[in-house]
Amino acid sequence: MTGFGRGQAQGPGFTVEVDLRSLNGRFLDVRVRGLADFPALAHRAEEKLRNAFVRGTLEATVRVKLAPGCAPKILDRERAKTLYAELSALAADLGLAEKPGLTHLLALGIAEERELPEEELWSALEAALEEAIAKVNEARASEGGRLKEALLREAQNLRELVAQAGVLAAEEMASLRERLWERVQGLSGLDESRLAAEVALLAERNDVQEELDRLKAHVARLFELLESPDPVGKELEFLAQEIGREAGTLGAKARGPALGAVALALKLGAERVREQARNVE
């Protein structure tokens, strides 16, 4: 399911912002950007996201901002004084009129990047991640409610189609038995008991009761999954695939257009469930 969440947390002298996007995906794929200078923190952020979600593509963008008035670089004053003294002495030794200045000192590296303590940075990053995750889950829950309603409609449609298929299959079987008896009644010299066995065998080959029983069980399980609070996306996909397979067998055994049409409708309904299940965690 899709969703977006933004989290923010303060640290000593800095702010951490996290933008978290969740996209549909069959598996879990986590990407964290903005922490190239902190690979250990990037790994910890990925682990936190993996523990919070089961499926989907998650893209987290992290921004670290220094507080106003907090310079991104720190001047090493003692080093600057030492270098200035040495440069001044060198200029005097060489008889140079030019005096050293800040440009020369900066070129020699008196300014160092401000280093943020990783544990303090992680504390703020974790808080920002938790806020972003909560907002993504809120958005996904809203979408999940709408998705559940759509899947329940599909499940109800499948249940009605299976019931309809049961009626049509019983009518087809009765018609088949009647036609078989009509064809053989005019034949002479046939053993009646063997004739009955042959008719029963032909009817059994066209019996779809096993397929109907499995379809009923699969649809019942579908309703159970849709009411479960646990992650069910992968099982929903598998179940929809099984319903489609049984519907295909039912259609292959159908002897009339009515049952064949219902079998096709079952297969199409199962495919719609499968497509929607890919968005379910």
Q: Among 54-63, 170-179, 242-251, where is mean pLDDT lowest?
A: 170-179
Dist CA 278 CA 270 (whole Å): 13
H-helix segments, 95-117: 102-107
pTM greater than 0.85: no
106 lies in the same domain as 47: no
Q: Among 79-88, 175-184, 239-248, 270-279, where is mean pLDDT lowest?
A: 175-184
Q: Per-residue pLDDT for 223 more than 60?
A: yes
The dihedrals phi and psi of 99, each to the nearest 5 degrees, come to -100, 150
Residue 183's pLDDT band, with cuts at 50, 70 and 90, is low
Q: Per-residue pLDDT for 70 more than 60?
A: no
pLDDT by residue (tens digit) across 117-133? 788 889 999 999 999 99
83 lies in the same domain as 213: no
Q: Per-residue pLDDT for 210 more than 50?
A: yes
Q: 211 and 242 in contact (C-beta within 8 Å)?
A: no
First to last CA, the chain: 7
Nearest to 218 by CA among 270, 281, 153, 279: 270
Q: Per-residue pLDDT for 163 more than 50?
A: yes
What average pLDDT does the chain have?
84
Range of the domain at 105: 73-113
Nearest to 169 by CA among 218, 207, 220, 205: 207
102 lies in the same domain as 32: no
Dist CA 28 CA 26 (whole Å): 7
Burial of 241 (0-12, 13-18, 19+ CB in 10 A): middle
Q: What is the pLDDT of residue 104?
A: 77
163 lies in the same domain as 108: no
206 lies in the same domain as 231: yes
85 lies in the same domain as 131: no
7 lies in the same domain as 47: yes
Q: 225 and 236 in contact (C-beta within 8 Å)?
A: yes
Q: Say if strands 73-75 and 111-113 run parallel, antiparallel, or are unpaired.
A: antiparallel
136 lies in the same domain as 152: no
160 lies in the same domain as 136: no
Query: Which of residues 244 and 98 earns the better pLDDT score?
Result: 244
Q: Which two tokens stand for residue 206?
A: 């066209």
Secondary structure (3-state) at 67 = coil
Q: Per-residue pLDDT for 57 more than 80?
A: yes
251 Cβ neighbours under 8 A, 6+ residues apart: 259, 260, 263, 264, 267
Tally of structural domains, the chain: 3
45 lies in the same domain as 153: no
153 lies in the same domain as 82: no
| Helix or strand holding residue 276 (H, E) | helix 257-277
